[in-house]
Structure 1
Amino acid sequence: MFTYTVSVSTGKQEFAGTIDHVYLTLTGTERCSDRTLLDKSFFQRFARGTVMPIDVSVKERLGDIVLVKLEKKNVLNDQWYCRCISVTSPSGDRFDFPCYRWIASEKAVVLRDGTARLSHEDKTCLLNDHRRTELESRQQLFRWKEWQPGFPMSIDANSSKELPLDVQFEAEKAVDFNENLNEAFNNLRLNKLKSLFQSSWKDIADFNEVFLSIKNPVSEYVMQNWKKDFMFGYQFLNGCNPVMISKCMKLPDEFAVTQEMVKGSLDRGLTLQEELKAGNIYIADYAILEGVRANATDPNTQQYLAAPFCLLYKNSQNEIMPIAIQLSRQTPAAGMNTVFLPSDNHHDWMLAKMWVKSSDFNVHQLVTHLLRTHLTSEVFTIAMYRQLAAVHPVYKLLIPHVRFTIAINTAAREKLISKDGIVDQFVSTGGTATVEVIQKAMKTLTYKSMCFPEAIKSRGVEDLPNYYYRDDGMMVWEAVKSFVSDVVKIFYGSDEMVQKDKEIQAFVQDVCFSGMKNCEFPDSLKTREQLVEFLTVVIFTASAQHAAVNFGQYDWFSWIPNSPSTMRKPPPAQKGQVDMKYVMESLPDRGRSSWHLGIIWALSQFQDNELFLGEYPDMYFTEQPVMEAAKNFRKKLAEVTNIIKSRNKNLKMPYWYLSPDRIPNSVAI
């Protein structure tokens, strides 16, 4: 008889253990073992966080172990989270089989050993058949669905309970997500406000009723300085939506601003045309909101949208200052394009800036945040599951960066952006506007716009001073790209290997043809360099870009006058007709303020047991060169973190959203 020692590792998550019967079959290069019941005493079976050793005896040697089959039969019909299996042969050779999956009753799971292999490297029928069967099974589980016309494709599931088990929230995470929202309403004392849904605030100071409940140094600084033009301009660089500012070399035809209007704001003694030519003029253009019908789900409250231009000036002190705002976009001949200026009366200029910030809030939520991180990451995730076998090195590379993404997006479709969902309660782009804006945004979404350096270059902001989003983002992009490059070089010895990798080609094709075809996403990859860039986009989008536009929401949006989620009066068409009463009747009422604060609080929270960029506790890779590459990656990220911490010590407003120690691995909130 020959004895193989099998170690079975159970996860530490809530409810990870099981007392169901688990059967194991070992498949070697020479033969298979009998189906063996891994049976300890009833209450010691596969307890949470344990490693259970079991001996499997066979009459003849099995050869090198290449597959492990696990089958779970009902006792209590619970689920079991298996971390990994290791098998030690009679000769002392060890074979590791990563699992990191939930296994339901009456289900069989067949695991490959941990050595990563490209599809053409499997030489036996046994392994080829396993690979093909695995992908066919996944393609049945991960089906594409068009949730709304013109949206990126999403998972074919109507509720979280319909999701494949491997991508559902774990029990503690699901509770955490729901509790965050309840905690927000309790901590912020918002439940009382919801009962006064359509009651307006009387004065700006009244927003302190909720703001003072929970504040932090950033939100408090915003509250104290939000009226000042320097703070308004600063947010285009390092606020929660730092992607709207672009260099302006020529004014849009519809923008009626003139030299005479802005000459008092230009401090270098140059004309507007000279400042444009010198590269000191920037613009934030919200054209995407033009013609969009504002949220009309509440028949008792009319809501409004505008599509403003905001002209910004880099002054001689390197501050970004607003110098002109136009809220309408009619042709110049119509003579209706009122341009608001810093020299206007206090209420006119304040309300004009509020309108810009309200437009910015709505574009941030639907385009910068939802579309360009959540929905695109879901496309990458589904394509990965459909086209890459678990043994593929790119699957192993990406799996930490897709954790909970499908689950959080499914929850969003159920509760946030669904008909009569939470977004409809407080955002002017709720209702049909949500679909309109995403459909329009898809026409500007391109693959190159998701490559961080390309996005910075296309907006002409490479030399903008004090642009920490850009500076930190470039450092993180380069660190991710370097890590991806190291891994790609380990497994792809040439460009030809990329070209003949059927799974990687199917992966990029699935991404392209599942809602991204018109976005100029590649439908094939021909070089290692192209593969590195593509995978860097996937990882950077899910980690750094999402962190940059998500976790500052409470910091920048909690003082509601600074970023109103909706406006309840139309934008002023003329100057001199706005007073404080008009301003307050324009801002969100008490009920909408409560929804606004509750949601941004919940979305801004890190989760318990968060895994940050470069933290890979699950050992999908077993190759030493990859472990060294991951170690170097963490070293580079630590260097970036230290650079950011050192810089932040000298800033009144520290920028930390792209500090690697605060960037979760995946879109999970």
Structure 2
Amino acid sequence: MCLQLFLHLVDMIRGKEDKNRLEGEMGMSKKIQGTVVLMRKSMLDFNGFHASFLDSVHELLGKRVSLQLISADTADPENGMEAKLGQPAYLEELNKKLSSTAAGATIFKATFDWNEDIGIPGAFIIKNHHQSEFYLKSVTLEDFPGLGRIHFNCNSWIYPTKKYKYNRVFFPNQTYLPSNTPEPLRKYRAEELAILRGDGTGELKEWDRVYDYALYNDLGDPDKGPDYERPVLGGSSEYPYPRRGRTGRPPTKKDPETEKRLFLLRLDIYVPRDERFKYLKMSDFLAYGLKSVMQVLFSEIIALCDCTPNEFDTFQDVLDLYEGGIPVPRGALKRIREIIPLQMFKEILRSDGERPPKFPTPDVIKEDETAWMSDEEFGRQMLAGVNPVSIRLLQDFPPTSTLDPKLYGNQTSTINEKHIEQKLDGRTVDEALTNNKLFILDHHDALMPYLKKINTTSTKTYATRTLLFLKDDGTLKPLAIELSLPHPKGEQYGAVSTVYTPAEEGVEKSVWKLAKAYTAVNDSGVHQLISHWLNTHAVIEPFVIATNRQLSVLHPIHKLLHPHFRDTMNINALARQILINAYGVLENTVFPAKYSMEMSSVIYKGWVFTEQGLPADLIKRGIAVEDPSHPHGLRLLIEHYPYAVDGLEIWSAIETWVKEYCSSYYPSDEIVQCDPELQSWWAEIRDVGHGDKKNEPWWPKMHTVAELTQSCTIIIWVASALHAAVNFGQYTYAGYVCNRPTISRRFMPEPDTDEYAELELNPDRAFLKTITSQLHTLLGVSLIEILSRHSSDEVYLGQRDPQEWTLDPEPLKAFDRFRNRLVKIENRIKELNEDEQQKNRKGLVNVPYTLLCPNTSEDSTVGGLIGYGIPNSVSI
């Protein structure tokens, strides 16, 4: 009582500032100033369409939002020795504006009362007593006594307290192994992980933050009828698959094993709220999605007035998609005006009112509209195109098969020496084999088991083998293409095959052109389903889930990997909703149709985690051999292989960065073995996330720093560089359907048939009637235009958002070295692309290989169809 009277007199005589100083000297509370950056809910956010949102700043003031600091080093004996808590602080208006604040963000101040006997703050609790959620970007204590600035990266949606049964807790950008975590924080660390794991029950709601696993049992819709049924992928030896994020939706009425689907156009399929697209990306996604839908709608209406609906009659018809759009006949124009609102009609038509907006011209035809037809370009794209990961060294001649002969009979290739011996630049076949000059694009074994089913649909296609010769100038020359079908008497009788070889004139030239088209159809499907979807999108999702369930945000490996998981769960959820589902866009635009995902499941049987790293992949495909005298310890058998040359530079940079980072926290193998979060993380990835492969012997044991480094390097490579290589070139090469058809609708014309006569008289029309139809082309091109675009808020390899991601100096220095190395790699790639000796870099189409060129520009807002840049994650 005397002390309070004394302080009151001091306050009257010397003012409040001296009071605060005396309180501090006597062990009483100090005033710690903090800034809080948050964003109001936007109508463009996924869940913002029908919910209320914060209209003005003042609604958050008063006692609407509280923050309470948690001690990192002082326990409270009166509360079971749990961490001591500071007094709640509330948001206050901040007078100054910060120019660096993100668009839409608001800065508040908060004044914290903090007693010295409580110690150093190691976390804080935030409670939202407002009616709606907001996005909390960061909290900063500006001048904490003895420590200075303490920063908390939050980047999370905060829902009203009534939505939670627990406190929302945030930690500063400090890093702790579990064993090094301050004792008062351990409870909060463990509780946060338990919250993120959930209890495995119930349908998850938008405010839930649960990361959990489910089978791919949400692709079919049996309640619509048998045509919409699809097998459950995952959980069986017949259809193994990586796991996806659980939503907890109820089962369908007709099949209790299949999860009920949302209405097709709903985009709010559950993923943890913080995994959803941010404002800018969602805006881009909706804008380009609407544009693509309108292009298809226009073209379909126009087709009603066409003499051959849904067909391209000439190559110029295809080019018209890009050269000003398809002219709109007057009758179609009138119909369009009847069904489209006036304002939308004005927005999507050009000023002349006669043409819809055109697709951008794909790079592959920008300079030369016919160069794609050449054999040289056909071979070059296997090394520098959209699917540069399938070609391999031919080691046996004729090519052999790994299919079970008891089930599939003799599947050995019928390509023989007579087909190719005159095209080997003076070498014999044995000499070409010995000198590593023969390569193959072999889709035979992957497709043959499904070909009979596939060809019962509207698709009519083959399993292909394409043989190529490596010339002395480093380019590939196609030698022969084999087209195979199952034996008509039954698959057990083997394959029926025909071999085609290059020709430069007559009907044989047209036949060869069609043979290349069938190869491109095979390669397009394998690329989209396997190289792209399965080997990047699908296999990475279990790592995203396990990392959030088992590694605290304080854990160094969580901080290392988290940027490489941005938007992956969201884009995969959207894919399940509208792309890879029954009768989704993918089934309508690639040749395996309704068997697409089922086929990818069968191919997943051969997936090996340790072979996903680039060096191991190149060695497996016979493209490289180990050689310590060469850079990266590998000698490329195709020296001018842009994907491999650039990829090895990127791989090495990632590997060095990961090694330096991991070694700063794990100086010994024993620390790896004794880290309970790390061991739980790896066990869950193996036993649950990729549970259908949990007994495979090739899984790293996670007993050494080397195994940790290898595993994290593979994860980052797949999520960043590999995905960039197989995704962002899609529009460049497949935006022009003649170069990369995705469907074949009839078999190769046979002599003495009407189709063969048409091929002789009008080869262009026969070609166009064989490949993807007009409607499917429009759907496919619309899709890949969206998928090939970089978001305007993309974060690229070598960048971090936020930049204040750790306080530890050694990782920060290592990351600077990583970023500087990427700058050098980018400059080197630009030099190689200007080297005329590097014939596979640009080819006859004059498209430089930039898909593995890092975007190290300070301007990270560059987006669109830029054709370069490696995003950190599988984000589109």
Say yes or no: TM over 0.5.
yes
Secondary structure, counterpart of 2:118 in structure 1: coil
Q: For 1:441-463, what per-residue CA distance to the aligned partner results, in whole angstroms no more than 9, with x for missing partners?
A: 20121112211110011111122
Q: For 1:25-84, what per-residue CA distance to the aligned partner results, in whole angstroms no more than 9, with x for missing partners?
A: 11222332122333449999x99434433222246542111221111112x413222324
Please give the alpha-carbon distance, in whole angstroms, between the structure 2 residues aligned to 1:629 and 1:609: 25
Shift of the 520–546 alpha-carbon distance from structure 1 to 2, 3 Å rule, reads: farther
Pairwise CA distance, 1:383: 1.0
1:515 aligns with 2:690: yes
Please give the alpha-carbon distance, in whole angstroms, between the structure 2 residues aligned to 1:555 and 1:222: 13
Shift of the 27–185 alpha-carbon distance from structure 1 to 2, 3 Å rule, reads: closer
Which among 427, 434, 446 is matched to residue 270 of structure 1?
427
1:101 aligns with 2:247: no
Pairwise CA distance, 1:285: 0.8
1:399: which partner in 2? 562
2:229: which partner in 1? none
In structure 2, give the amino acid aligned to 1:591.
L
- Does the CA-based 8 Å contact 2:448-2:486 persist in structure 1? no
Please give the alpha-carbon distance, in whole angstroms, between the structure 1 residues aligned to 2:872 and 2:193: 25
Q: For 1:527-582, what per-residue CA distance to the aligned partner results, in whole angstroms no more than 9, with x for missing partners?
A: 11111111111111111111111110011112211111111113457799741354
Please give the alpha-carbon distance, in whole angstroms, between the structure 2 residues aligned to 1:222 and 1:101: 49
Shift of the 574–4 alpha-carbon distance from structure 1 to 2, 3 Å rule, reads: farther
Which among 195, 205, 212 is matched to residue 137 of structure 1?
195
Please give the alpha-carbon distance, in whole angstroms, between the structure 1 residues aligned to 2:723 and 2:368: 22
Which among 438, 448, 452 is matched to residue 614 of structure 2?
452
Shift of the 660–499 alpha-carbon distance from structure 1 to 2, 3 Å rule, reads: same
Which among 579, 600, 603 is matched to residue 441 of structure 1?
603
2:382: which partner in 1? 236
Please give the alpha-carbon distance, in whole angstroms, between the structure 2 residues aligned to 1:530 and 1:574: 59
Task: Provide structure 2 residue ranges, at least 5 long, that are not aligned to the other structure.
Answer: 1-22, 24-28, 46-53, 75-83, 199-209, 217-231, 234-239, 250-266, 324-357, 401-411, 624-635, 836-841, 856-868
Higher RCO (C-alpha under 8 Å, 6+ residues apart): 1
Matches within 5 A, 1:417-436: 417-431=580-594, 433-436=595-598
Which structure 1 residue ranges, 4+ long, deviate > 6 Å from structure 2? 41-44, 294-297, 331-335, 573-577
1:193 aligns with 2:299: yes
Pairwise CA distance, 1:90: 4.0
Shift of the 381–333 alpha-carbon distance from structure 1 to 2, 3 Å rule, reads: closer
In structure 1, give the amino acid aligned to 2:416.
T
> Normalising by structure 1, what TM-score?
0.92
1:153 aligns with 2:299: no
Which among 372, 376, 379 is matched to residue 539 of structure 2?
376
- Does the CA-based 8 Å contact 2:514-2:767 persist in structure 1? yes
2:277: which partner in 1? 169
Secondary structure, counterpart of 1:473 in structure 2: helix
Task: Provide structure 1 residue ranges, at least 5 long, that are not aligned to the other structure.
Answer: none
Q: For 1:236-257, what per-residue CA distance to the aligned partner results, in whole angstroms no more than 9, with x for missing partners?
A: 1000000111000103242111
- Does the CA-based 8 Å contact 2:452-2:486 persist in structure 1? no
Shift of the 658–668 alpha-carbon distance from structure 1 to 2, 3 Å rule, reads: same
Please give the alpha-carbon distance, in whole angstroms, between the structure 2 residues aligned to 1:550 and 1:406: 17
1:179: which partner in 2? 287
Pairwise CA distance, 1:584: 2.5
- Does the CA-based 8 Å contact 2:89-2:111 persist in structure 1? no
- Does the CA-based 8 Å contact 2:363-2:733 persist in structure 1? no
1:644: which partner in 2? 829
Which among 461, 472, 476 is matched to residue 646 of structure 2?
472
Shift of the 612–77 alpha-carbon distance from structure 1 to 2, 3 Å rule, reads: same
- Does the CA-based 8 Å contact 1:361-1:565 persist in structure 2? yes
Pairwise CA distance, 1:515: 2.2
Shift of the 58–152 alpha-carbon distance from structure 1 to 2, 3 Å rule, reads: closer
2:223: which partner in 1? none
Please give the alpha-carbon distance, in whole angstroms, between the structure 2 residues aligned to 1:282 and 1:14: 55
In structure 2, give the amino acid aligned to 1:152.
P
1:115 aligns with 2:174: yes
1:8 aligns with 2:35: yes
Q: For 1:284-325, what per-residue CA distance to the aligned partner results, in whole angstroms no more than 9, with x for missing partners?
A: 11121113258989x9x8113322111111123322011111
2:134: which partner in 1? 79
In structure 1, give the amino acid aligned to 2:372.
W
1:494: which partner in 2? 668
Please give the alpha-carbon distance, in whole angstroms, between the structure 1 residues aligned to 2:212 and 2:459: 37
Please give the alpha-carbon distance, in whole angstroms, between the structure 2 residues aligned to 1:449 and 1:238: 21
In structure 2, give the amino acid aligned to 1:466.
H
2:339: which partner in 1? none
State which drifts further: 641-650 or 17-26.
17-26
Which among 63, 66, 70 is matched to residue 122 of structure 2?
66
Query: Which structure's CA Rg is the greater one?
Result: 2
Pairwise CA distance, 1:261: 1.4
Which among 583, 606, 631 is matched to residue 790 of structure 2?
606
- Does the CA-based 8 Å contact 2:91-2:108 persist in structure 1? no
- Does the CA-based 8 Å contact 2:362-2:735 persist in structure 1? no
Identity %: 25
2:482: which partner in 1? 326
- How many aligned positions are there? 661
- Does the CA-based 8 Å contact 2:93-2:109 persist in structure 1? no
In structure 2, give the amino acid aligned to 1:262.
I
- Does the CA-based 8 Å contact 1:283-1:312 persist in structure 2? yes
State which drifts further: 361-370 or 78-87.
78-87
1:288 aligns with 2:288: no
Please give the alpha-carbon distance, in whole angstroms, between the structure 1 residues aligned to 2:808 and 2:446: 48
Q: For 1:132-183, what per-residue CA distance to the aligned partner results, in whole angstroms no more than 9, with x for missing partners?
A: 1111111111110001422210001266342211111223322321222223
- Does the CA-based 8 Å contact 1:508-1:523 persist in structure 2? no
- Does the CA-based 8 Å contact 2:125-2:170 persist in structure 1? yes
Which among 385, 388, 393 is matched to residue 551 of structure 2?
388
Secondary structure, counterpart of 1:316 in structure 2: coil
Pairwise CA distance, 1:414: 0.5
Pairwise CA distance, 1:193: 2.7
In structure 1, give the amino acid aligned to 2:822.
L
> Normalising by structure 2, what TM-score?
0.71
